[in-house]
Amino acid sequence: MLDQLAGHPVIDKTGLAGQYDFNVEFESGEPPCASCAISNGLEQDYGLKLVKSTVTLDVVVVDHAEKIPTDN
């Protein structure tokens, strides 16, 4: 969900196990930088920081697919 709010992929490197529910509040309206507002809210409320970095990810690209008929 942070990916959508931040506008870029977010990778969890906290080392914390499990899933957590949390609320982050920031001023309504058009923030000067949406990802900055989210980052500031996470850091102020929970001590979590969004840090931009470059990582290598495995990606699978499907260029073409055809439906192969199967026997019933």
Q: Give every CB contact of residue 41 below 8 A, 6+ residues apart in sequence.
A: 24, 25, 26
In terms of pTM, does the model score above 0.75?
no
Rounded CA separation 64/66 (Å): 7
- Contact in structure between 2 and 38 (CB atoms under 8 Å): yes
pLDDT digit string, tens, across residues 17-72: 888 887 776 666 555 566 677 778 788 888 888 888 888 888 899 999 888 878 77
Buried/exposed 20-44: b ≥16 CB within 10 Å, e otherwise: eeeebeeeeeeeeeebebbbbbbee
User: Which among 16, 11, 18 has a CA at the least distance from the CA of 52?
Assistant: 11
Res 61: pLDDT:
94
Res 27: pLDDT:
65
pLDDT digit string, tens, across residues 1-14: 778 877 788 888 88
